[in-house]
Structure 1
């Protein structure tokens, strides 16, 4: 490597050093310092541009810092005064001495070029900072020391942002002359503006009048209660796909964790975890009952998946079909010994647990023998036949006193031997265990045995294993008033339960598949039936006076993919419990039951059903797709004939092929036919429907149940979950604001959707702008008149600068970086929307969630100022407002309200009376309450809410007279 000054070859070490010298310009630094000491007024040109750290030479840093101090103190800073100040601090020699100061002044090329010299110094300083930051980033990447890659990326972005921010920082205060000029120009601009809107229009006339539109640099908070009443009642059960357990939604919300099943866009169930847990207090709820007998209690605003997409219960009627799981492919991991599984099934079915002794009644000898065999697995019990010839035979289960006494005597003998070997007296052992001396005496004489809670201490005192004292186990020698079977049934919550009070124990839901099949096989032995009717129809059913038991069996069958219907049977006896019956509906369901479960002791009847099924043509009239799918298929068919469609797919069309899509013969399409049509049309939507995990069940009743405690869960991406064997759902106003701003401006509009996927958000916008039912947009089942609307909506958005970022848990730093990139590549930003503030995170923040939200809020306000654009941040409200008679929110209802309320320029709340009062006369109306406006009035405006279009619109003026302010 050559030295540029001497033109000589440098040694290798010096060459490497030269290569690594950070960027700098000594000449530019000298020119800046010399020019300042020569012309003190030049400070106004560079004082806000440079800091002492921008200088590479340490001597120059001291000189500049000294000049800065003198300038701030309004003192001259020529070579003499600077030298004197440096000498006073003892830094004159470090800064080069008096001679060097004089040389700086004499060597300045031109004071007129001070701006250019300062810019060179600043540019080199930025390059050095980039090198330094890059080295820190590289070091972190080479030696992460426990840091995650995302943390290092976050650190890298922060480092680069700090450098970028320092370059764009504008200096200090602005003089009155300049401010007056800007103010007059702004007033003139406003004067020339037609109308009252001085910012970004909201699209709503009355709201624009109150706010004059959204102003630059404003932080606008839009708040509402989570889910706005879309809740299910306390006590509803949610299936845990990992354990098979049915978990109360109350517990999931209380513990703020859980796993559940959710329905994807392909109509298949998948595991998911809630991201938000909502306690929504007391609300009016309604019980929905379907043709299958499934029931769930929800608020009117809670959506169900209907044939036309997700719809709130308030928009559904008796006769509408909703999606319920047709299969819940979930089995637990728990196992039980075969004798316990059988005993459990038999006592649930035909067992008596309310008498002085347990009884099992059945007329089938093979069943009675199997029952006795199962009971033999328990310790110290015996079975006694009760058969007087006139009644159905019974078996009484009681303690085997002889076995108990034998086991006690064995324990007494072993205890005495161990005490003798350890040279322990009865008094010593009693003192060690904290019991009476007479108690030990009773043990040694086989009168009683230790309570199970004392056994561990006894074994420790004697230094022996439990088996050395109790060869047949502790229960075999115990008598506590209950035999071992009764004790076990009590643990399963089945003891002392009448027939109509019986429910499936929790353990049953957590059984692995083979154990669950064995349990059901013996449960159906008691009250189940299988037979072929005179007309050749096959039936498998189960009867019980317990609706909860029937409901539990229905759920367990769904796990095998078997759909069964529950119905109440006629009751001919006064004051008797209503009899309930469960019946498996379809051929495929019956076949699955026969193949995977069966019925013990009724094998001949089951075989008869199997034989009858094999002679029938396979069909399933119950598990069909909604009739509206016919319209979708007709849209795919168009004007082509069926032979043409079959030929195009390389198939031969059957003679007279008619899928019954129109006319009097029109009916729901079977899954098999939907699969064929999906193949013919190469259509994924039909294919997904044919392979889906849902059954389309008809609503048969909607009944008011009064006010009850309700809860909700938020599930990211899919926004639904399975509860009580129903598929139930969990940003409308804010997106309408975005749409209106987008159509009225050519600037960039950016949406950060932390909860809803970008594609789903765009589909909502198309529904809103095109005034198309969102269910039709989501499923693609548009009618002829909808296509032009969709085309116009697409056209209105296509050329607009709309950007949607659906990154979950984004940090303010990441958000700022992405906004900078958009501004750099696409131009000025007109509006930003964040959905929602409480889902943002700051990586590594450890000072509590409230402080984190405060920091996020401040960051959002800083971004609004930096980009000179209004930022709309959605925020949640505390549930405290649910406890008030007047549910209209106020500023203090904001969740983590302190910093948010302080930072916000405008706070708006959304209130819909029908959410809390289903019978209100103000249905379809929303109040937008302005709780804070830094530069304007507060108050409220009312808008029309059109749910099927997910759209708010201006309300007709005459409608205002119908309201009474609360």
Structure 2
């Protein structure tokens, strides 16, 4: 503990520092690291340091502490409480200002009024900070002044943001496909990893029900695996059963019924999948859409669209990807669907604009934003929640619907309570 209001830990082992950092994260303690050259009697060596500051300092003192160092801890906490503004390392990305801007428009405030309400007369010109990161502590002042549930939702998330310093090529190695029931995401080396099959279900529905030709630009999954997931999702059995050839007789019947229906509904044009694009750019998406001329196209996922090197922060890259994807739609006059993944908060809260992983700028650029969510219990009942999160040209923002996936007809029907009559076939949507 230091009188400056921070705690540090040093080691020459990078592996040990990484392990300590991961353990601290499990306790809700977030830290920063740096490397420097240290000297000893035998020469120089590289040493790393972990620094704990801000609100994580209080969390560390309450949940972990340092045996035999209570007096130093008290001095450190006192220094932090005297001036906590400079030591807060919990920054949210600059795109958070987009959400603040949306709340400002909702209230009909000018930026000058926002500054007056948040800071009084001290700093009325808030607009000059729109491209800088914002601390969670400062965002809480905006949330209270504007009485915004959306901002409070961002504050309560347990996601910590950090700038990507560099990306290095690690070569070609074997990778493994891991699937987690329920949330379908997991933490790998500190990163939240998630795969999405939404685009496949959308394409299958449009092809079978309406004869529409879709172009899927898959930046995460190869076409063969996509076809298997497609069959499992539409037929109503678990993909894992197909993957490990552990299917039941009922699964084979569902699969055969789906295959027969797909064969009967075949059209001159089929679902198109492009899965071999490296460093996918908006120009390449435009080229593929112009080449195949589908009825609509899907990009899975928007996060993987390559952005120019001069864009450093994550939110700037996401803003660029969303803007360029919309320009492709305008240039080709084709509807485009961008798949974006939800954050871990969606496990409890469902899909919202606030817990959309990546950046709120994706939602700001889109004309229509639909969130899909299903808990493990809902999946066992073949239920799915659909939320209309944004509709630029119509009504329905904030409305939530529950749908029932009928394995017999392979369609989605509005879900009704168990004591109500089943929906007629005409209710299929």
> Please, what TM-score do these two structures have when normalized by structure 1?
0.25
The reply on whether 1:712 has 2:180 as its aligned counterpart is no
**Partner residue, 1:870:** 265
Which residue of the partner structure matches residue 585 of structure 1?
A: 53
- Unaligned 5+ residue runs, structure 2? 216-229, 239-244, 303-321, 333-429
User: Deviation of residue 578 (structure 1)?
Assistant: 2.6
* Cα gap change, 1:741 to 1:678, in 2 (>3 Å): farther
- Report deviation, 1:625: 1.8
- State which of 249, 252, 258 in structure 2 corresponds to 1:854: 252
Inter-CA distance 705–840: structure 2 relative to 1 (3 Å threshold) = same
1:912 counterpart residue number: 275
DSSP-derived class of the 2:50 partner: strand
Count of residues paired in the alignment:
281
1:689 aligns with 2:158: no
Shift of 1:716: 5.9
RMSD: 4.9
Within the alignment, does 1:640 sit opposite 2:109 as a pair? yes
Q: Does the Cα contact within 8 Å between 2:115 and 2:126 map onto a contact in 1?
A: no
Which of 129, 134, 145 aligns to 1:669? It is 134
Tell me, in whole angstroms, the C-alpha distance in 1 between the residues paired with 2:148 and 2:119. Answer: 21
Question: Which residue number in structure 2 is paired with residue 357 of structure 1?
Answer: none
Residues 548, 663 of structure 1: alpha-carbon distance in 2 compared, 3 angstrom cutoff? same
* Distance change (3 Å), C-alpha of 1:870 and 1:568: same
* Secondary structure of the corresponding residue to residue 57 of structure 2: helix
- Give the equivalent residue in structure 2 for 1:631: 98
Query: What do the CA deviations read for 1:118-154 (whole angstroms, capped 9, x no partner)?
Result: xxxxxxxxxxxxxxxxxxxxxxxxxxxxxxxxxxxxx
1: CA distance between counterparts of 2:329 and 2:248?
Answer: 35
Q: Does 1:836 align with 2:233?
A: yes
2: distance between equivalents of 1:641 and 1:925?
A: 38
Distance 1:615 1:734, change over 3 A: closer
Q: Aligned in 2, Cα 1:653/1:593: closer, same or farther, shift over 3 Å?
A: closer
Q: How far apart are residue 705 of structure 1 and its match?
A: 0.3
Cα distance in 1, alignment partners of residues 79 and 330 from structure 2: 64
Query: Following superposition of structure 1 onto structure 2, how do residues 926-941 of structure 1 map, counting pairs within 5 Å?
Result: none
After superposition, what is the alpha-carbon deviation per residue over 1:340-381, rounded to whole angstroms, capped at 9, x for unaligned? xxxxxxxxxxxxxxxxxxxxxxxxxxxxxxxxxxxxxxxxxx
Structure number with the bigger relative contact order (C-alpha 8 A, sep ≥ 6) is: 1
Residues 713-756 of structure 1: per-residue CA shift (max 9 Å, x gap): 345664432222222221436635756998999xxxxxxxxxxx
Change (3 A) 1:657 1:719: farther
Structure 1 residue 850 displacement after superposition: 6.9
Superposition deviation, residue 563 in structure 1: 0.9
Q: 2: CA distance between counterparts of 1:908 and 1:665? A: 43
Q: Contact 2:235/2:255 (CA < 8 Å) preserved in 1?
A: no
| d(CA) in 2 for partners of 1:640, 1:579 | 50
Query: Could you tell me whether the CA contact under 8 Å between 1:643 and 1:653 is conserved in 2?
Result: no
- Residue equivalent to 2:23: 556
On the 8 A contact 2:91/2:161 being kept in 1, the answer is: yes
Among 589, 609, 613, the residue aligned to 2:80: 613
The 8 Å contact of residues 34 and 49 in structure 2, kept in 1 or not, is answered as yes
Q: Are the counterparts in 1 of residues 203 and 271 from structure 2 also a CA contact under 8 Å?
A: no
Taking a change above 3 Å as real, the CA distance of residues 837 and 742 of structure 1, as seen in their structure-2 partners, is closer
| Distance across 2 between alignment mates of 1:741 and 1:661 | 52
Q: 1:566 aligns with which of 33, 43, 53?
A: 33
Deviation, structure 1 residue 700 = 0.5
SS of the residue corresponding to residue 713 of structure 1 reads coil
Q: 1:703 to 1:853 in 2, by over 3 A?
A: same
- Does the Cα contact within 8 Å between 1:678 and 1:684 map onto a contact in 2? yes
1:218 corresponds in structure 2 to: none
| Counterpart residue number, 2:202 | 735
CA distance in 1, matches of 2:34, 2:209: 54
Question: Structure 1's 559 and 733: CA in aligned 2 closer, same or farther, altered over 3 A?
Answer: closer
Q: Which residue of 1 aligns with 2:361?
A: none
Say which of 529, 532, 546 aligns to 2:13: 546
For residues 673 and 955 of structure 1, what CA distance do their matches in structure 2 show? 41
Q: Give per-residue Cα distances to partners, 1:937-961, cap 9 Å, x unaligned.
A: xxx96988755468998999xxxxx
Given that residues 642 and 657 in structure 1 are in contact (C-alpha distance below 8 angstroms), is that contact kept between their aligned partners in structure 2?
no
Distance across 2 between alignment mates of 1:737 and 1:954: 24
**8 Å contact 2:32–2:51 — kept in the other structure?**
yes
Q: Identify if the C-alpha distance between structure 1 residues 853 and 623 changes in structure 2 by more than 3 Å, giving closer, same or farther.
A: same
Q: Deviations over 1:467-496 (max 9, x none)?
A: xxxxxxxxxxxxxxxxxxxxxxxxxxxxxx
Ranges in structure 1 where 5+ consecutive residues have no aligned partner: 1-529, 746-764, 769-832, 842-846, 873-904, 929-939, 957-966
Equivalent pair of 1:629/1:669 in contact (CA under 8 Å): yes
CA separation in 2, counterparts of 1:673 and 1:618?
A: 9
Change (3 A) 1:580 1:633: same
TM-score (norm 2): 0.51
User: 1 CA distance for matches of 2:181 and 2:66?
Assistant: 42
Match of 1:700 in 2: 165
Query: 1:871 & 1:853 partners in 2: Cα distance?
Result: 22
Contact 1:925/1:942 (<8 A) preserved: no
Change (3 A) 1:834 1:724: same
Query: Where does 1:776-925 land on structure 2 (aligned, <5 Å)?
Result: 836-837=233-234, 839-840=236-237, 849=247, 852-863=250-261, 870=265, 910-914=273-277, 924=285
